[in-house]
A and B are shown apart, each in its own frame.
Chain A
Amino acid sequence: MTGLRYVYAVCRPLGAPLQAQLTGVVGAPVKQLPHHGLIAVVSEVPERDFAEEPLRAHLEDLDWLSATARAHQGVVDALTVVTTPLPLRMATVFRDDSGVRTMIESCEEHFRATLERLQGRVEWGVKIYLEAEQPQEATVAEPEPRAASGRDYLRRRRQQTMAREDVWEKAEAFATRLHEKLSAFAEDSRLHAPQNAALSGTAGRNVLNAAYLVPRAHSEEFVEVVDRTKDDAPGLRVELTGPWAAYSFAGELPQEGA
């Protein structure tokens, strides 16, 4: 049968073979496709799911999307253990091996430069959450259970708003400090949009969502720095994820600007 080729990542030839049982999207075995001194990590995917039309429809199906995203990430994750992969965006699909080779040829220079830059580095994700609403509001409101007048009511409202703003300001100040500290330690950093609580399934409001590029050799220290700050801010929660392949630092293709 002839399937399409799904490409997960491009990397330098591996010093070690891929785990024999490593499977990718739709459970297919993952293979290395060497070309011009680089390798593309690929697996076969059926045309009925990955041709343009069905792919577009699938991408709007949250269950399909998350299964595929996890499979993609699983392969990149396995590669991160043995090499420095350049992760491609999900659903990069070619007709056949020769299409993949042509792609390698046309992006060869960029791949090499990026591999050089990211070699031996991993990405760590740090998020700060503001835990559920603070009890301060209750204490502010308690002494006056009923507003005696419109003016009282407005004053109380203002106090509540100020208490809330205060919490926000503190959270922001903490986030800024932590980000400065981690940026100074890391080689590079990116600020991502705060995550939507419904999609992440995490409690609290996401106030910082950042990624840091750290040499693998310094990762342990980085983790310690994050760990030490964890208890510094009551009402805030610091979450660390990683080590990831350097997703957030690999994407700057010079295609448009240059």
Chain B
Amino acid sequence: MDYRPEVINKLSEIYSGSHGTFLKNSPEIFNRHRETAYKEFLRLGIPDRKNEAYKYTNLEKSFGYPYQVYYSPVPQDFREAEKFHCEVEDLDVWNMVLLNGFFPRGEEGLVMLPGGIWVGSMKAAAKQFPGLVEKHYNKYVQGENDGLVPLNTAMASDGLFLYAPKNTAYTKPIQIVNLLHSDQDIFAQDRNLVVVEDRAQLSLLVCDHAISPQHFLTNTVTEVYVGQNSRFEIIRVQNQHNNSGKITHTFIHQERDSYASSNNITLHGGLVRNATWHMLNGENSETHSYGLYLADKQQHIANFVKVDHAAPNCNSTQLFKGVLDENSSGAFNGRIMVHKIAQGTNAYQSNNNILLSDAARMDTKPQLEIYADDVKCSHGATVGQLDNNALFYLRSRGIDAREAKLMLMFGFAHDVIKNIPIEALRERIDNLVQKRLRGELSRCASCAIQCN
């Protein structure tokens, strides 16, 4: 039976029921887009497997819990959040913790970092930079037939705001820790905006953690504007327990001569779906999308990438790799779109997967859609096991079978990890992945929740 009408009904009740709270708790600009987005959501609904982008991803399980859909934080909630410490050693970053999609310091939460970069809540930003927020908010979202994007616009009430004005740079990465903590099942929707103006530079690290065993579902929309000659990096480290669902939509809009990269490292999570849209709108820009996923148990990890070459002479790469064990399943859905005007395009797309168990499953759909002729586009996808020749090579040099397998798998994963621009993090992830591949569960072993 279709579960969706019931969920949509519930969402509608909450939408109309908490409308007052929404309006009160959110910036005015959020409220202005709410109604249209809500109608759009009703039109599109929750995507099912008939939707090409969700062909291999079933959201039913994630939407099936009695979520307290509208969550409004109270001060004591944040006490728990403040206890949180990032366990990556030597990570030199500027750090901030978000709880269930909310900014702990509330209205005051907008700070200027050395170098002139602003970071804080959307609520505060809408007050301090109304013109800027107005100019960029809800301008880069796409999503074609994905109803979850308008659902976020309709129901989100806060999120992260990051602003690098012209000619500014902050040498350290900015780390945002998204904590999920509640004694109820929560459906959180946060809405983030990153504006990197001309000749500015910004590096963002987003870590997701769930610290209580409840069921969580997060539906995040992040819009990024990357101005001329500027540089932006985003790294996501997703490490939530198996009761949680994480759906992200990231829209990166690039102007000419800009550089952007996105790294999605998915180590854990019941259901994870990362959609990353790279829109190359100015000539000579460059964009990279990387992803690594290690899944076991019943996890499902999906990556959706669209690189939209809408200007000439741009370069793009996509590299996604996965190792799937036990009953897990993975999906990759990548598309390179080259518009007629985008002559001189150089685009590359690759998705490689290793299946470790009989029940693991991988579906991949790398696609090219090309309307210009002076292009070099290629893509490749593989699903298989470790190369027997390589294994033999190692074993003939006295390395035992298990160690040889680990070495190969680690090398396989490192291809993606080596693109992480923050050294301390790169080492940490290397370490985590190695532990994980060895079977010393990197998350569950140290986790107090022990969900399953």
On whether the two chains bind one another, the answer is no
